[in-house]
Structure 1
Amino acid sequence: MTRRPFPLAVPPELTAYILDFHWDLSLLHALPLPVVELPLAVFADHLDLPFWAYDGRPFQVTPHQVAADPVTYHAQYERTVAADLRHPLDAVRHPDNRLTILDGIHRLLQAELDGRAVVAARVLPWTDLDRIAVRE
């Protein structure tokens, strides 16, 4: 079986961040990955990328735009404020050693708003991506 392709058109600025296949969050959360503390700065570029939906359209707004205008982007801001930092971010380590968040961008923004210098994260090795892939 092959991996099911990612179901949405991804903007060019996100192609280096969004996996090109559909993956299962419950499979990711079930993996026994160790939790490590990482500098928030490792993920800072994520805060300036349009990961979040607005007005029913995906990939429209960045976390920093939400933080700057919580009235306009109230739904994403409310999710950020409600984010539970007791849960680590989930990321994948690319072959070039770059880290990409798979789950936890609201938690990342919450950590920045709280003034935290480090975040807890679980890091999935690139070679283990098949463990979270949805198959056709």
Structure 2
Amino acid sequence: MNRKPFPLPIPPILRPYILDFHWDLERLHTLELPTTELDLADLAHHLDLPFWAHDGRPFQITPHEVAADPNRYHEQFARTRAADLNHPIDAVRREDGRITILDGIHRLLKAELTGQARITTRILAWPHLDAIAAH
């Protein structure tokens, strides 16, 4: 499939995590994917990466920075508080076996802040990435 490139420059620290093509969140959510319970500790490193925007600029702050200063980063913290932990996070199992989150960083942070040890995760297999590619 001819994939559209990711629409923003990806910082080097995020290249091992963010897909290099534009993908469709709605398509991801409609997929029937297997779920599993993962240890939150196995995914917690995502919370130290600058996934989130601040002051209109993408890739500026980490979820842990938001948690440490919720008044300064009130928009992202409000999204974290509103996150629905009944909905699993979505991740992809990469060719090297690593699991990286596609959708659900706010849920992951909320799970950590509420003391959950495990989190329900839907996992997309790497060979099925074309199923979420934007047209």
- Deviation of the 1:46 alpha carbon: 0.3
In the alignment, what sits opposite 1:43? 43
Q: Deviations over 1:12-40 (max 9, x none)?
A: 10000000000000110110012211100
3-state secondary structure, aligned to 1:53: strand
1:72 aligns with 2:78: no
Identity %: 66
In the alignment, what sits opposite 1:27? 27
For residues 98 and 105 of structure 1, what CA distance do their matches in structure 2 show?
Answer: 16
Aligned partner of 1:106: which letter?
H
Q: Deviations over 1:27-78 (max 9, x none)?
A: 1011001221110011111000000000000000000000000000000000
Length-normalised TM-score, structure 1 = 0.97
In the alignment, what sits opposite 1:90? 90
3-state secondary structure, aligned to 1:65: helix
- Deviation of the 1:10 alpha carbon: 0.8
Consecutive aligned runs of 4 or more in structure 1 exceeding 2 Å deviation: none
In the alignment, what sits opposite 2:101? 101
For residues 14 and 104 of structure 1, what CA distance do their matches in structure 2 show?
Answer: 16
For residues 112 and 39 of structure 2, what CA distance do their matches in structure 1 show?
Answer: 11
- Deviation of the 1:11 alpha carbon: 0.6
- Deviation of the 1:106 alpha carbon: 0.1
Unaligned stretches of 5+ in structure 1? none
Q: CA RMSD in A?
A: 0.7
Unaligned stretches of 5+ in structure 2? none
